[in-house]
Structure 1
Amino acid sequence: MYFKPIATSKMPRERRANIGRRTRHASQQQVYSRNLREERKNIIRENDRLRHRVSTRRSLASYNRLAFQYDPTANYSDDENLDIGRMTTICRYCNAVKFKRETVGLLLLVSINNSFNFAFSGVSTNNKNLSAMNYYAYRMMIRTHEENVILKCGRLFQQFAVDMYVKVETERLAFIRFNQPKLRSEDYIHLRDAIHSDGDVQNIGRLTILPSTYIGSPRHMHEYAQDAMTYVRNYGTPDLFITVTCNPKWTEIERELEPGQKPQDRHDIIARVFQQKLKVMMDVLTKYRVFGDTRCYMYLVEWQKRGLPYAHILIWLLNKLHSNEVDDIISAEIPDPVTDPRLHDIVTTQMVHGPCGALNPLSPCMADGKCTKRYPRPLVAETVTGNDGYPVYRRRSKEDNGRTIKVKVQNQEIEIGNEFIVPYCPLLSRIFETHANVESCHSAKSIKYLCKYVTKGSDMAVFGIASENVNDEISNFQMGRYVSTNEALWRLLSFQIHERYPTVVHLAVHLENGQRVYFTEANATQRAERPPSTTLTSFFAMCEADPFAATLMYVEMPKYYTWNQSTKKFQRRKQGTPVPDWPQVFSTDALGRMYTVHPRNDECFYLRLLLVNVRGPKSFAHLKTVNGHQCQTYREACQLLGLLENDSHWDLTLADSVVSSNAYQIRTLFAIIITTCFPSQPIQLWNKYKDAICEDILHRLRIQTNNPDIQITDEIYNEGLILIEDQCLTIANKLLIEVGMIAPNRSMHDAFNQELNRELQYNVDTLQEFVRNNVPLLNEQQKQVYKTLMQAVDNNTGGLFFLDAPGGTGKTFVISLILATIRSRCDIALALASSGIAATLLDGGRTAHSALKLPLNLNTIDTPTCNISRSSAMGKLLMQCKLIVWDECTMAHKKSLEALNFTLKDLRRNNNIFGGLMILLAGDFRQTLPVVPRGTPADELNACLKASPLWNNVKTLSLTTNMRVQLQNDQSAAQFSKQLLDLGNGKVPVDATSGLITLTNDFCRFVDTQLVLIENVFPNISENYKNYAWLSQRAILAAKNNDVHALNFTIQSKIAGDLVTYKSVDSITNPDDVVNYPTEFLNSLEIPGFPPHNFQLKVGTVILILRNLNPPRLCNGTRLSVKRLMPNLIEATIINGKYAGENVCIPRIPMIPTDLPFDFKRLQFPVRLAFAMTINKSQGQSLSVCGINLENHCFSHGQLYVACSRVGKPSALFVLTSDQKTKNVVYQRALQ
């Protein structure tokens, strides 16, 4: 329904003057057109400068990261930039009063009769209609010198607002419903086929839907959820999740009420004030940068059942919020009423949940005897990371100096503590004086929940009502629709319910001639002959005509081009940041998002997969062309490009290896594939490549018998199967029959003895000689340690020992001597280490995770166990073992030790600690502690071995004498050793203001830039990269992965040769989640410990193994140099450890992360570049030359100590830092 305006008021004098001015100059337009264009450019340039100046002033530098510097004495809310003012500004057209910053276009509707009369006709003679929504909004305005009766009607006003909005909404839905028979849509290819076959347009069209263009519809909210995922794909997980609720006691609301009115009587004021407050909050977060520079944001407004509006806000910061900064900006504790009485009052009135639970079982949040919001929360002394991706915030108990307050529950006064406090930011609470829940959500676990929850849409008031037509989306939307007074007024006032930055442009995905066509029965034939252009077809046209467009991916187009809705074409942007080397090309922050396609629509799904991976396609046919071959289907093109995972991939991998590898390498590769890649038809792969796999066995027989005519036989194949099975047992503790292969002809006893044979294969004579020669070389401390440990072994008393040994004290030498002594007696001693690098330093060393079958997700399992049974080979080995040595134990999670304790008790049927087996832990707690993803210091300390109850049973032995100093008689090394210990013990003086330490000139050699650092550590790398021994003894270390990746990329660019790009195959394993997580989102995930999606390599590059592929040769942490790059295989040479110089083949393997909220698999080579590596990854490795990039400070315990202690003298240590200052993080609790 429309309402005709009555009479218009006189045009203001200013507008008449402007029109006259334009008329007078109209005749001069052609004469001065060129001058005007130049003048306009000058004005734009001047405006840009002015805008920059204004922006600089408005950014309020004093507010930058203010949330980290909260001052209880400051009066933040009195800042004029944060005050929304009063309703004193008068509209000069209609006399409506408004806030000073309020811009409500509806106030300009000045021509409506002021009487409250509904009997207006929707017909207008001058075609100037007024929508019903704007009419009702006009009626709800406050005007000077006028009395608006409806605003004084209390509940009648509420009913009026709801009824009028529901009428508006119903009319809109009715238009959609009743016009769909006339305005239908169908995929163009289906429309064309139907017309060509029978010409009956009545048979064409889909069922009625509620389109995404309808604000608030499920499809509309789903689009916003996918847009949020686009932000995640480009910028990572959001940093902050803020929920701000309207406070009806705001001064701005109360002072606008009429005498005798309550806030619930004036939802119009509530809506307008909250809208202004929300604008100010977004300014505080984005323009004033109280948390730092904001990269992007989005928010959605919703309404409580009781009617108050609230907003969910997601914030992505330019500098990601680190876990150790959470306590600086978020609190979940009652403030001090003495030092900060104002915040105390706000928190105790606005941020207390409930109380509920046992204190108030009748609380609305209770369901089945539990609080649906999980209150009361646990009381903890330090903030730790929770399993749901949110931190468990510091909430101290009363005994730990936590504060309490008294509240009334059912007319009784009770005392509650921090367990009922909702997390908040002190700064935001002080500014806005309302309920503002602030959560740190940096974990990937929270992605799915946040993006869906923030865009879930309006509530339903009725559940469980079935519709006769389940495909009637309009009826489903209306059924049980709950509209509160505040929502009705918010929508009538045309306020935004959703806002985001930057913009996300939606891009069409369809098959050739498959674009969606909107038609009526009258124009169906015409539309079929001339289908409209889409963003996809326009993209193809731009790639054909525009050289720059031909360099882009489809989703990159909106960044440089705008979509003209009228011409249906892409056009270059005319403003933005200039793109280097491309004149007249500008970039912006705009993002592109392709519509998702369900895999059941297979060809369109594979088309979309190609659009994600192919740059600059010029047509649909171009997309299907791979290396000059025109494919019949998009699936075939994806297969040829290696974008799909199936058995043909493993076939091609083995085919690559046959060309250049020997039989042993092919056999090892085959064992890795069948144990880690799980091909569906492994027997077919065996039958195809068994001759190549057994070639060395045949060759050996020909040599032994001196008969070159011997042909391959079933016995030779059987021996090959036995060798493969032995490797499968080593890699995954699995028999061939367990991985879908045929079992070799061997006794089961022999198969299970493989693990035992491995530990008994040592040459006794060699070991005895090693012991005789090296025991006399022990110093007094080492002799005491050796004697104590061997006595415990001889007495078979078991026990838990810890060898505390800083770098250079001969720890590895003593451990190796103990292992050799036990093995020389034909007893079993198992050598384990927490890292692959440390494992390679011990004879027979393996990583603890690999050998003990520890679970990968130790952080989330309450009572983990080792996946070892009594009947398994490893189980039998542990029952006969005399000693387990665990080197670099300080990196191990306490739960790994507890899992070993539980397993050994069960295997050995012995309730003594570790089942009576002797355990020797070795390490240095000055070094890094267990890695807890996105964990806080409290998380790391809680995961440390010293936090385990088992540590109460430990017997500590120490080595303190630095052998490097004694053996080399180097005084600089002696001074360096002392400085390292001071660094590790936290004794280096810290500046009280900056929190940094100063490194001295005699401690290391300082460099100024990354290039100088690279040149000092890798001099003449373009030639020396061929020297494996040279490569193995040098590396650059950094605390953060981003710095490591940048260094590796720079160093690799100095090596001659072509880059080879390997793209991963990323997929969602749960079909229900496929549409929620598109392929490009999965490709964008940078997961610690995982290879990247887009991996570039050169021959000669140093790489690092990320998984235990074939221990002890290929362990997590083994460094190699790339020898050959094939399409499906990497051949590399091991450059460190016992197996240095050995060539190995590395296939792609599937890897599944354990800390994501969805089942995701990445098929990629399990390697990373390793010229530079993270400090944590380097632990346990000794280097001749080491560089440290400290441009980003160390952030965790022991990192600086570990980095500096990789070398033994200051001349071999090169450090890049600012002013010789850096951060040294030491947790004294870990050293006690």
Structure 2
Amino acid sequence: MILITGSDQATFSLDNRNEVEQFQSGRYICSSEVVWRILSFDVHERAPAIIHLAVHLENGQRVFFTQHNANDIVNNPRDTTLTAFFKLCAKDEFSKTITYDKVPNYYTWNQSIKNFQRRKRGTPVENHPGVKKTDTLGRVYVVHPNNSKCFYLRMLLHVIKGPISFASLRTVQGVTYDTFQEACKAMVLLEDDLQWENILSEATVCCTSPSIRYLFAILIVFCQVTDPIRLWQNHRASMAEDVLFRKQKECPSDDINYDENIFIEALLELNKVVQSVSGKNITDFGLILSNNIDLNTNTEYLRETSYDSVRLLQVVQNERRLNSDQKTIYDAVITSINNYEIKTFFLDAPGGTGKTFLINLLLAKIRTDRKITLAVASSGIAATLLEGGRTAHSTFKIPLKMSYDDTSSVCNISKQSNTAQLMRDCVFIVWDEASMSHKSSVEALDRTLRDLRNKNTLMGDCSVLFSGDFRQILPVVVRGTRADEVNASLKRSYIWPDITKLKLKTNMRILSSDQGNKTFADALLRVGNGQSLTRNGKIDLSELCFLMSNLMDLIENVYPDLPNISTKTPSWFQERAILSPTNDQVNKINDMILLKFNAPTKVYYSFDTVLDAEEAIHYPTEFLNSLSPSGTPPHKLILKIGSPIILLRNLSPPKLCNGTRLQIKSLKNCLLECIILIGCRAGEMVLVPRIPMIPTNLPFQFKRLQFPVKLSFAMTINKVQGQTLNVAGLDLTVQCFSHGQLYVALSRVTCKQNLFVMAPE
């Protein structure tokens, strides 16, 4: 055993380390680099050039002076890029058409004399002689939101074209405001409770009380109104006007005016709307009613048991129109339900076989017996075609993010909720376009029904009819391969072997004697079955459509008489669209058409903010404005009266679902007044306000306050699945990239004469 080891010891030496010498002795230069450097070629370059642009308040620019020239500098300060921009806009006509950040594209900054001069090199700008454009970028210095005056000044500089002074930046529609923030509010660039007041004030002028209550419900559900009680107090008269009119009509001899009872009845009507939109009561959003009033009405249950019996019987009379295939399936499903032979079906229905007609007939037949049925679909457009249809995710509260191997997820429905009671009493569920739903979503519904109905059998002993066409688009798997999409389909689910398969074979489009329609339908089926490939692996489209040589020809065949299409009826827009595989190409086509027709125009800018205030300095406002995440409207939304649009959010299913097509009838400052184009509510007038949206597919979170719509002259192929068109155009400049996309696009119409395709050779 060693008791004493002594102190620690070490050996070291001093060495003079020369990093420069080490680099020089270790560097190797080959002959190619030697020649390159001898000839003085550029070693590196940066493109495009970036010009930094100053931002400061009036007389708030930085100046440099000495004790000898202080007075001269104060009296005659040198121009900054901002003040020089004001002077440029005062004398140069073209500069009045651009914003501050776009100036370096067309002008150079002369540092010595402090002014902007037109570029002498670059691409000539059409209709502007002497103006040339380059790819030089202008970047306005970032300002933190805490520096509010400069922050709002900077925001205006990115929106207002051709200002000649700080005062002109604060002038909106002829009114000069005291602060830049007030000017931003006047341009609806900011989010505050005043905008909710303005929305309801606009609606009061032109809309009925039920429409205003519906609008109020959307605001308190989606827009985080900070003081809903005050908003109600300010506008309750317009929301209770129909109640007052009804009371006056019932008792014409009495002098009836607004009183507390009338407002309470209007609140009860409002509560029904709020429940239909969100499943909650108005008390959950801060509105107060008397203690003795019960708000716990199961509106979902009431909606599914309150269908118009007369209309249902009218639909059931269409039984005689069923063909033999449809009649066989119709009898099988009805018999199964009437005899309590619980089954789960899958209806394989290629395009044109009358699937939607059959499903609506089944729903009407079962509902006439006062039995509860639920109609859902995988997409918003498909849901609007079903009577009482809603999207599957909104109805069953299916989790949005699920992997194909998820074996434990369930729907977000508590056992004591109103939705749970509805699903326990439901005898029949229809899920249309199930072939494009992720198998995990269907399996989550299976586990939920087993739990809610206390039966450990397939779908909890509830009859379910899935329908779809596996020739069409399969579930979308982000950054997944084709194998991943196949593995995510319903056919790979554990429930598939226990499903009874049904099939519609007769194409309703070829029942006429037109041989052309039969040839078209047969060719379509070959495309869907993968049997139409040529030797080089391509598909010959000549027997399916008319081929177009350029994009403008395609547009004019689908939308003839472009300058005057704003006068067309809603049914004219309902039956036509241009399709493309990608959002970028769809946006390009929509912009081209929008420029071609004449109608009153309005531009709506979004208000974009980073949710984490500490990250605001890292993401300038103009960067947020430049983002266009999938499913989100653009920052700069240009709309014209008469143009068709598509809804990007579920606002009030089944009336307003994600994918519902609308036509604009009126453009107001804070509202869009539209007509529904498709589905069971076609022709109904609705109001669409701005709502906040938070994209989830970015590495950071930001909120965009904008109207949840996009133009729909052209739509992506995925969006249009489930809808039948009379006239369709297909732009294949960008090739289809997913299973079934081409088949879906080609099968939207009934004959070759109405299908126009632009495809590369």
TM-score, normalised with respect to structure 1 = 0.57
The partner residue of 1:903 within 448, 454, 457 is 448
Q: Does 1:1031 align with 2:573?
A: yes
The Cα offsets for residues 157-215 of structure 1, whole Å up to 9 and x where unpaired, read as 992125x8xxxxxxxxxxxxxxxxxxxxxxxxxxxxxxxxxxxxxxxxxxxxxxxxxxx
1:1185-1204 matches, cutoff 5 A? 1185-1204=727-746
C-alpha contact (below 8 Å) 2:724/2:748 kept by paired residues: yes
> How does 1:509-658 map onto structure 2 within 5 Å?
509-518=55-64, 528=74, 530-658=76-204
2:699 aligned with 1:841, yes or no?
no
* Partners of 1:831 and 1:886 within 8 A in 2: yes
| Residues 1080 and 156 (structure 1), Cα distance of their counterparts in 2 relative to 1, 3 Å cut | farther
| 1:695 and 2:241 are equivalent in the alignment | yes
The one-letter code matched in structure 1 to 2:449 is L
User: Residue type of the partner of 1:1019?
Assistant: P
Aligned with residue 460 of structure 2, among 903, 909, 915: 915
Shift, 1:938, TM fit: 4.1
Kindly tell me the number of residue pairs found equivalent between the two proteins.
744
- Is the Cα–Cα contact under 8 Å of residues 566 and 642 in structure 2 kept in the other structure? no
Return the offset for 1:1081: 0.8
1:933 Cα deviation after fit: 4.7
Tell me if the contact between 1:991 and 1:997 (Cα under 8 Å) persists in the aligned partners: no
What is aligned with 1:1045?
A: 587
Q: Which residue matches 2:681? A: 1139
Q: What is the letter of the counterpart of residue 628 of structure 1?
A: G
Report the Cα offset of residue 667 of structure 1.
1.1
Going from structure 1 to structure 2, the CA distance change for 1:566 and 1:755 (only over 3 Å counts) comes to same
- Write the distance in 2 (CA, Å) between the matches of 1:970 and 1:708: 67
Q: Residues 764 and 826 of structure 1 are in contact (CA less than 8 Å); yes or no, is this contact kept in structure 2?
A: no
CA shift at 1:524, angstroms?
Answer: 6.5
Counterpart residue type for residue 844 of structure 1: G
Preserved CA contact (<8 Å) 2:645 2:662: yes
Are 1:905 and 1:912, in contact at CA under 8 Å, matched by a contact in 2? yes
Amino acid corresponding to residue 571 of structure 2 in structure 1: A
**Structure 1 residues 921, 274: closer, same or farther in 2, change over 3 A?**
farther
Partner of 1:310: none
Distance 1:984 1:732 in 2: 39
The match for 2:376 is 832
1106, 1121, 1130: which is aligned to 2:648? 1106
1:1082 equivalent in alignment to 2:624: yes
Matched letter for residue 851 of structure 1: T
Q: Cα 1:1027–1:758, aligned 2, differ >3 Å: closer, same or farther?
A: same
Q: Check conservation: 1:801, 1:955, Cα contact below 8 A.
A: yes
Look up the match of 1:758.
303
1:149 match: none
2:464 counterpart letter in structure 1: I
Residue 443 of structure 2 aligns to a residue whose secondary structure is: helix
Match of 2:510 in 1: 965
Deviation (angstroms), 1:540: 1.8
Partner of 2:560: 1019
Distance 1:519 1:891, change over 3 A: farther
Q: CA offsets, 1:461-488, max 9 Å, x none?
A: xxxxxxxxxxxxxxxxxxxxxxxxxxxx
SS in 1 for 2:597: coil
Aligned residue in 2 for 1:854: 398
Cα deviation for residue 795 of structure 1 reads 5.0
Report whether the alignment pairs 1:1095 with 2:641. no
Kindly provide the CA deviation profile for residues 68-90 of structure 1, in whole angstroms up to 9, marking residues without a partner as x.
xxxxxxxxxxxxxxxxxxxxxxx
Residue 347 (structure 2) pairs with residue 803 (structure 1): yes
Q: Report Cα offsets for 1:884-903 as digits up to 9, x if no partner.
A: 11101122223322332333
Report the alpha carbon displacement of residue 702 of structure 1 after superposing the two structures with TM. 1.8
- d(CA) in 2 for partners of 1:275 and 1:760? 83
Match of 1:882 in 2: 427
- 2:4 aligned residue: none
Q: Corresponding residue for 1:372?
A: none
Cα gap change, 1:158 to 1:550, in 2 (>3 Å): farther
CA distance in 2, matches of 1:800, 1:524: 88
Equivalent position to 2:499, from 954, 961, 965: 954
Which is greater in Rg? 1
Partner of 1:1056 in structure 2? Answer: 598
Deviation, structure 1 residue 1154: 1.1
Cα displacement (A) at 1:851: 1.6
User: Matches of 1:1209 and 1:744 in 2, distance apart?
Assistant: 61
CA 1:648–1:939: 2 relative to 1, 3 Å: farther
The superposition leaves residues 558-595 of structure 1 with CA deviations (integer Å, 9 ceiling, x where unpaired) of 21222233333322222222222333322211111111
**Does residue 1130 in structure 1 map to residue 672 in structure 2?**
yes
For residue 322 of structure 2, what is the aligned residue in structure 1? 778
After superposition, the Cα gap between the structure-2 partners of 1:622 and 1:272, relative to the gap in structure 1 and judged at 3 Å, is farther
Counterpart Cα distance in 1 of 2:123 and 2:321: 68
**Change over 3 Å in CA distance of 1:904–1:560 after alignment to 2:** same
CA drift of 1:665 comes to 1.1
8 Å Cα contact 2:566/2:597 also seen in 1: no
Task: Give SS of 1:878's match.
Answer: helix
Distance change in 2, residues 1:723/1:775 (3 Å): same
Structure-1 residue corresponding to 2:268? 722
Q: Which runs of 5+ in 2 are unaligned?
A: 1-12
Q: Is 2:10 the counterpart of 1:161?
A: no
1:1025, CA displacement in angstroms?
Answer: 3.6
Q: State the shift of 1:548 in Å.
A: 2.0
Task: Give the letter aligned to residue 458 of structure 2.
Answer: I
Answer yes or no: is the 8 Å Cα contact 2:404–2:438 preserved in 1: no
Task: Name the CA distance, whole Å, in 1 between partners of 2:345 and 2:66.
Answer: 83
Q: What one-letter code is carried by the residue in structure 2 that aligns with 1:575? A: R
Q: Secondary structure at the match of 1:687?
A: helix
Q: Name the CA distance, whole Å, in 1 between partners of 2:290 and 2:460.
A: 35
| Whole-angstrom distance in 2 between the partners of 1:986 and 1:1103 | 34
Where do 1:454-473 residues align within 5 Å? none
Contact 2:566–2:643 at 8 Å: present in 1 too? no
- In structure 1, what is the equivalent of residue 10 of structure 2? none
**1:384-423 pair list within 5 angstroms:** none
Which residue matches 1:793? 337
Distance 1:1168 1:505 in 2: 33
Cα–Cα, structure 1 residues 1137 and 275, in superposed 2: closer, same or farther, change >3 Å? farther
Report deviation, 1:1018: 2.5
Matched letter for residue 1204 of structure 1: L
**Distance (Å, rounded) in 2 between the aligned partners of 1:1139 and 1:807:** 23
Once structures 1 and 2 are overlaid, which stretch shifts more, 1049-1058 or 1112-1121? 1049-1058
Question: 2:8 is matched with which residue?
Answer: none
1:532 and 1:1135 mapped to 2: Cα distance?
Answer: 59
Displacement of 1:942 after TM fit?
4.1
AA aligned to 2:82 is: L
Match of 1:677 in 2: 223
AA in 1 matched with 2:365: T
What is the letter of the counterpart of residue 387 of structure 2? D
Structure 1 position 1176 matched with structure 2 position 710: no
For 1:906 and 1:1124, the matched residues in 2 are separated by: 48
Alignment of 1:243-642 (within 5 A): 269-270=26-27, 500-518=46-64, 528=74, 530-642=76-188
Q: How many Å separate the matches in 2 of 1:507 and 1:698?
A: 59
Give, in whole Å, the separation in 2 of the partners of 1:746 and 1:1166: 38
Q: Please say if 1:977 is aligned against 2:521.
A: yes
Q: Sort the Cα spacing of 1:1165 and 1:1218 in 2 relative to 1 into closer, same or farther, 3 A.
A: same
User: Percent of pairs identical after alignment?
Assistant: 47
2:557 maps to 1:1008? no
Cα 1:625–1:858 change in 2 (3 A) is: farther
1:1210 corresponds in structure 2 to 752
1:1132 aligned counterpart, secondary structure: strand
Q: Measure how far apart 1:1078 and its partner are.
A: 0.7
Q: State the Cα deviation string for residues 17-37 of structure 1 (Å, max 9, x = none).
A: xxxxxxxxxxxxxxxxxxxxx
